[in-house]
Amino acid sequence: MLRTAGEAVAPLAGQLAAKGYDVVDAVGADLSPALTAPGFGLPVVDMALVSAGLSASPDLPGIAARLRESWPGLTLVRLPDAGPGFDLPALPGDLSLDEICEQLDEIVLETARIRTDADRLRREAHALTIQVRLTRGGLEDAVADARRLLAEARQPAGQDHGRP
């Protein structure tokens, strides 16, 4: 839950926490390393809800960039009371808490799917890198053998080819 220093914690934060969501309150541009250093603080950040004040703040693009650098694919969503501002999807104001939770669950599941796909692609890329290195090493050996055989073939008949 991202907000400006002058804003109170949104009541929705408490309601979501009561529903079992892990809610972290973050104020303005001074983001905790828990939010910007994966592995240092939180195990994962699936979504950031943005307050009305912060959604209209000129600081939001920088904050969003820092968060997305740490958490690729992170979705930022404006709270229902947030007016127009930075180009973010907004939760409709006429939803019940259960409907809000359904929308948030969909966002979190999609973010988790994207993260899983990205992890899989990273693992595949790492495996391919290893395979290329091994193949390159084998190719270097084959080239050395071919050069040796070519050099032996070019020697005139009757010369010692270095064989006993």
Residue 43 reports pLDDT greater than 80: no
Residue 7 reports pLDDT greater than 60: yes
In a domain, 106, yes or no: yes
Considering the chain, what percentage of its residues have pLDDT values greater than 90? 7
Instruction: Show Cβ contacts of residue 108 under 8 Å, excluding neighbours closer than 6 positions.
Output: 46, 47
In a domain, 145, yes or no: no
Domain hosting residue 74, numbered range: 2-118
pLDDT of residue 80: 78
Instruction: Show Cβ contacts of residue 161 under 8 Å, excluding neighbours closer than 6 positions.
Output: 152, 155
pLDDT tens sequence across 100-120: 899 889 888 888 888 888 889
In a domain, 62, yes or no: yes
In a domain, 101, yes or no: yes
Residue 86 reports pLDDT greater than 70: no
In a domain, 142, yes or no: no
User: CA-to-CA distance for 73 and 156, rounded, in angstroms?
Assistant: 66
Number of domains in the chain: 1
pLDDT of residue 39: 65
In a domain, 76, yes or no: yes
In a domain, 79, yes or no: yes
CATH number at residue 25: 3.40.50
pLDDT of residue 81: 73
In a domain, 162, yes or no: no
